[in-house]
Structure 1
Amino acid sequence: MNISRSFVLAGTVFLVIGIGFGIHMGASGKHDFAPLHAHLNLLGFVLPMVFALTYRSYPAMGESKLAGYHFWLHIVPSAVLLVMLFLLLAGSITEASMFPIAPIAELLIFVGVLLFLANAVKNAF
């Protein structure tokens, strides 16, 4: 797995969806999904691109098994959280019904970031 490429591709998918929501909000004049738009672009696009550039800049990091774990621990839980946020903002679910899935997804993303840190300490310096 080319980790940089994987993060770029996944991030770009999130970007397309995020921009789509931005266009929809601008055209409709309804900004109910602004939090989703922001999270799609930041959690879904910006962070994966930062990760991609870091892995590209430090090839030893990208070759580590930690990189693959980090990828899956960021992309899958992020997608879960973003779908849940969409459903919440659309009124299809309540905030209470997001428990325990949303906190688990958040924790998995945090574990992925800790693996990224461990990988950086081990392979980037």
Structure 2
Amino acid sequence: MQKLDRTYITVGMIWLIAGMIFGAWLGGSGHMNFANSHAHINLLGFVVSTLFGLLYWAFPAMARSKVAMWQFLVYEIGILMLIIGKIMIDNDGKETIFLQLGSVVTIVGTAMMLYLFVTKSGSEARA
């Protein structure tokens, strides 16, 4: 994908807005049992997505890899599943397959980023 860096950062900003809205609801309604979900939205959604976007910007060879688009999709689908599962657990305390699968998919997406960084980041970097 041509502008994977911008796409990742844009998705990160969407996660940030979602986290802020969720946090405002949390504080206003007193449902502090969802605080852990709120943290996951902001850290895995906003912070990590934005960081990955900055890595793709800093090392353009990573974004040109055939693995890059798959890495983006795997990671973002994984955190969406993980966060849905986390919200479900925070709501009623019952285990859910969303959290378990989402965790594994998110880890795979992060491992794919590690692979891209290790194999592609040394060949070309922005100053």
TM-score normalised by length of structure 2 = 0.86
Deviation at 1:36, TM superposition (A): 0.8
Q: Does 1:108 align with 2:105?
A: yes
Q: Identify the residue that residue 71 of structure 2 maps to in structure 1.
A: 70
Alpha-carbon offset, residue 29 of structure 1: 3.5
- Does the 8 Å contact 2:86/2:99 carry over to 1? no
Identity of aligned residues (%): 31
Aligned counterpart, 1:22: 23
What residue number does 2:94 align with?
A: 94
Corresponding residue for residue 122 of structure 1: 119
Partner of 1:7: 8
Q: How does 1:35-50 map to 2 (within 5 A)?
A: 35-50=36-51
Q: Deviations over 1:49-91 (max 9, x none)?
A: 0000010000001111121111011101111111121122222
Structure 1, unpaired ranges of 5+: none
1:30 deviates by: 3.5
Query: With structure 1 as the length reference, what TM-score do the two structures score?
Result: 0.87
- Aligned length in residues: 121
Aligned Cα root-mean-square deviation (Å)? 1.5
Structure 1 residue 9, shift from structure 2 partner: 1.8
Uncovered stretches (5+) of structure 2, i.e. residues with no partner: 123-127
Could you tell me how far apart the structure 2 residues matched to 1:51 and 1:22 are? 23
